[in-house]
Amino acid sequence: MPKLTIKTDNKTIEVAENAAIIDVCENEETSILFGCRDGACGACMVRVVSNPQNLSPMEDHERDFLETMAALDDERLACQCKVLGDVELEVSE
Ligand code: FES
């Protein structure tokens, strides 16, 4: 099972392959905050510390929003990501 590590919380969670991060975070205490849950508010922005290829590919509306926010190349919206393999995140500042 893939491991989702949230460095901000010093926490590693084993998740089902293809699990949505937002669903995982409903059952686990993490520092990732969610607002709109739809890729439109930026509350859930995270930095991908390692293995960005193990998150589901970015779709256009996420890319457009991150561009609007002037996000860094390694930032994603957690509400839009599924876990495909081991990946490490931290909450964006
Ligand atoms: S919760 Fe609003 S963008 Fe992810």
Query: What domains, with CATH codes, occur in the chain?
Result: 3-91 (3.10.20.30)
Which residue, among 79, 90, 86, 62, has the nearest Cα to 20 in the 3D structure?
79
Contact 85 CB / ligand 1 (< 6 Å): no
What's 47's DSSP letter? E
CB count in 10 Å sphere of residue 44 = 23
Span 20-54, pLDDT tens digits:
999 999 999 999 999 999 999 999 999 999 999 99
Would you place residue 71 in the very low, low, confident or very high pLDDT band (cuts 50, 70, 90)? very high
| Both structure tokens of 27 | 């059952």
Q: Is the pTM of this model over 0.75?
A: yes
What's 55's DSSP letter? B
* Residue with token string 């930095």: 47
Contact 1 CB / ligand 1 (< 6 Å): no
Cα–Cα dist 6/80, whole Å:
16
Atom of ligand 1 nearest to the CA of 36: 2
